[in-house]
Amino acid sequence: KDFGVKIRPVPERALIPPGGELTIEIVAEGLDRMGAYEFGSVLDGDSLEWMGEPIQNPALETTIGSQHLLGPVPYDTGYRLGATLIEDGTGVSGMTTLATLTVKAAQDGETNLILSAPVIVRADGTEQAIMQAVVGFYEVGNPTNTPTLTPSPTPTPTETETNAPTATSTPGSIEGYDIWPPPDGDGKIDSGDLIEWLHLIETNQAEEKLLFDFAQFWKD
């Protein structure tokens, strides 16, 4: 059964050090005899800048014979690109890489990669539905070191019996919810943590109900 196409950047999220570079592959999954494609790749934010035009996957020519490239052409704060695959009519099915993007760190901050208005057309000319276009989330900065907690000294027992206080959670504590950037977070709850929790829920690594508790710490 055809559930539509999912287009996503790989990696979907990353922490990039100042002055660093990142190569991102644009992958399409769930293809059904793809004969043509087109999409925009736009940077939303100031922390990253392009190192050049996107490079469309030359392996598609090995797979189907040849391809007629459309673009890349400047589009908003990025590029729009695509291709028509010229072959025997069978098209490309399953999963494939459409293009490779290269960006570099410009300044500290966050930038989203938007895959805008994607279009997938089968080899017979019919359009295949887009199920999801995943937004990439990238942060420029250095990992924040979390201070190491020093255990409190254990009191020496005395002959006088006293009741030990019961430990309680500190109101407003964000421990357990601050997970981005890895490994120990950055001491605040923001969009990076939200996107990471949504990813864990989507991949069944966390329960959806935790968002109720997470919401009380939201600061953005």
Q: Are residues 40 and 88 in the same domain?
A: yes
How confident is the model over 77-111, as pLDDT tens digits? 999 999 988 766 688 999 999 999 999 999 999 99
DSSP per position, 188-200: S--HHHHHHHHHH
- What pLDDT, on the 0 to 100 scale, is given for residue 156? 56
Write down the pLDDT at residue 214. 62
Cα–Cα distance measured from residue 155 to residue 73, given in angstroms and rounded to the nearest whole number: 70
Given a contact cutoff of 8 angstroms between Cβ atoms, the answer to whether 86 and 67 are in contact is yes
Across all residues in the chain, what is the average pLDDT?
81
Residues 112 and 200 in one domain: no
DSSP strand pairing (13-16 vs 136-140): parallel
The pLDDT of residue 146 is above 60: no
Alpha-carbon distance of 157 to 148, in angstroms, equals: 27
Does position 45 have pLDDT exceeding 70, yes or no? yes
Q: Which is higher by pLDDT, 108 or 201? A: 108
Residue 164: is its pLDDT beyond 50? no
DSSP class of residue 2 equals -
For residue 61, give Cα distances in angstroms to 10, 31, 41. Answer: 21, 17, 22
Please indicate, yes or no, if residue 161 is contained in any of the structural domains.
no
Query: Is the residue at 10 inside a domain?
Result: yes
**CA-based radius of gyration for the chain:** 24
164, part of any domain: no
32 and 130 in one domain?
A: yes
The tally of domains found in the chain comes to 2
Look up the domain containing 178 and give its range.
Answer: 174-220
Q: What is the pLDDT of residue 168?
A: 36
